[in-house]
Amino acid sequence: MFLFLSTRHYVSATTYPHFTLLGQSLGSLILAWDAFTLLVPDIFIDTMGYAFTLPMAKLMFGIPTGAYVHYPTISTDMLSSISSSTSARVRVKLLYWKLFAMLYSLCGRGIDVIMCNSSWTAEHLRSLWPNKASTISVVFPPVAVEALTEAIPLHKNGIVVKREKIILCIAQFRPEKKHDLIIGSFAHFLRENPSLNDAKLVLIGSVRHSEDKTRVYDLRLLAHEKGIKDKVVFVCDASWNDILQWLEKSWIGVNAMWNEHFGIGVVEYQAAGLISVVHNSGGPKMDIVIPGTGFHATTKEEFADGYRKALELEDQEVASVRQAARKSAERFTEKIFAEKWLEAMAKLLQLGRTG
């Protein structure tokens, strides 16, 4: 059963042009109250990142609470990113974030079952919720691994399926996805490796609004400025069938986002048999791209070198890496997620019966 909530705007970022994190968190209490007036549940689980609602449920109704955290509302990376500037504005922002981190830390104390989507997220939660550190479990999100492996064979009639020299990026056209770094690294790769100048870069992503359209336009200009516009293909709002076709024929999958909390797209690359070149941070580094399945990079030079290494692998090495990548992706299936999720739910239900 689904119940409609009429107070969704209280958790929208656009509602709070200033002090957005605090505004959304306090707004989530209004949204939760809206929900509780319709139904008081036997157990309460937050999967949206509204941590302030968890102590509310515990204090008001005494029910077991659980959380599945995709990304901590505030992280130690955010706190460390503030410079040591002596300006009043910076000092106020740092104080605000520290106070918010304290409130967020208090929210974690009463949660009965805590799951998160990656080792990166778990590290931050253990720092923010130290009294719960030993109980935080990593439950990787479900990825359509089986569907991809079935749709995209690595062999046909005992022969390895040939791939084109395509470097594929599947990511929404948002600033944090660092398409500019990918384009810059591809231009550097072409300059440094003239023997591989038949390679292409394909950027697939959704375009949500006018800002995204402007961003795509700017990226097209960047490719033109770099002298590689004829070797960069933009595919906007592609259908799933189109995405499958690109996954089937591409050689490399690239992800340049810094501290991607997990990286479902990278798992999809692996399941499709692509060789991944990903940012040396976050979930892609810690959980997904293990040795023998791809390469890590940070700078445009390192990304370019990753492309070169992947494209220069001998046939047998390529087949081995593709197979290893697909095998690695089996850790992230929908079946494994369901098993771990049900284990956690069983704990909550037991608490509900004994409470």
Q: Do 120 and 208 belong together in one domain? A: no
Label residue 355 by pLDDT band (50, 70, 90).
low
Q: Examine the domain organization and report whether 340 and 312 are in the same domain.
A: no
Does one domain contain both 311 and 349? Answer: no
Asked if residue 212 is part of any domain, the answer here is yes
Does a structural domain hold residue 2? no
Examine the domain organization and report whether 346 and 315 are in the same domain.
Answer: no
Query: CA–CA separation, 117 vs 69, rounded Å?
Result: 7
Residue 55 counted as domain residue: yes
Of all residues in the chain, what percent carry a pLDDT higher than 90? 79
Residue-range definition of the domain harbouring residue 212: 145-332
Residues 122, 164 within the same domain = no
Rounded mean pLDDT, 97-121: 92
18 plus 55 within the same structural domain: yes
Question: Is 18 part of any domain?
Answer: yes
HSE toward the beta carbon, residue 269, CA cutoff 13 A = 29
> Are residues 271 and 339 located together in one domain of the fold?
no
Contact 195/234 with Cβ under 8 angstroms? no
The answer to whether 200 and 229 have CB atoms below 8 angstroms apart is no
Q: Is residue 71 part of a domain?
A: yes
The domain tally of the chain equals 2
Pick from 155, 101, 152: nearest CA to 129: 101
pLDDT digits (tens, 9 = 90+) for 289-324: 999 999 999 999 999 999 999 999 998 999 999 999
- When computed from its CA atoms, the radius of gyration of the chain, rounded to whole angstroms, is 23
How much is the pTM? 0.89
Cα(329)–Cα(165) distance, rounded to whole angstroms? 22
pLDDT for position 89 = 81
CA-based nearest residue to 246, from 218, 227, 265: 265
Structural contact between residues 66 and 113, judged by C-beta atoms closer than 8 angstroms: yes
Is residue 230 located within the same domain as residue 248? Answer: yes
pLDDT reported for residue 55: 95
Of the pLDDT bands very low, low, confident and very high (cuts 50, 70, 90), residue 200 is very high
Rounded average pLDDT over 149-164? 88
Report pLDDT for 158.
77
Distance CA 90, CA 83 (A): 8
Task: Supply the pLDDT for residue 176.
Answer: 94
Q: How many percent of the chain have pLDDT more than 70?
A: 96
Both 246 and 232 in one domain: the answer is: yes
Both 159 and 127 in a single domain?
no
State the first-to-last Cα distance of the chain, in angstroms, to the nearest integer: 25
Long-range CB contacts (< 8 A, 24+ apart) of 292-295? 292/320, 292/321, 292/324, 293/321, 293/324, 293/325, 293/328, 294/253, 294/270, 294/321, 294/325
Q: How many CA atoms lie within 13 A of 38 on its CB side?
A: 12
HSE toward the beta carbon, residue 156, CA cutoff 13 A: 7
Shared-domain flag, residues 138 and 149: no
Q: Is 77 among the domain residues? A: yes
Q: How high is the pLDDT of residue 98?
A: 87
The answer as to whether 104 is a domain residue is yes
Residue 88 pLDDT grade (very low, low, confident, very high; cuts 50, 70, 90): confident
Residue type, 2: F
Same domain, 254 and 162: yes
- All residues at 6 or more sequence positions from 233 whose CB lies less than 8 Å from its CB, including other chains: 200, 201, 202, 203
Confirm whether 1 is domain-assigned: no
- Predicted confidence at residue 353, as pLDDT, reads 67
**Domain of 43: which CATH number?**
3.40.50.2000
Q: Write the DSSP assignment of 3-47 as a string of letters.
A: ---S-GGGG-GGG-SSSHHHHHHHHHHHHHHHHHHH---SSEEE-
The confidence score (pLDDT) of residue 266 equals 97
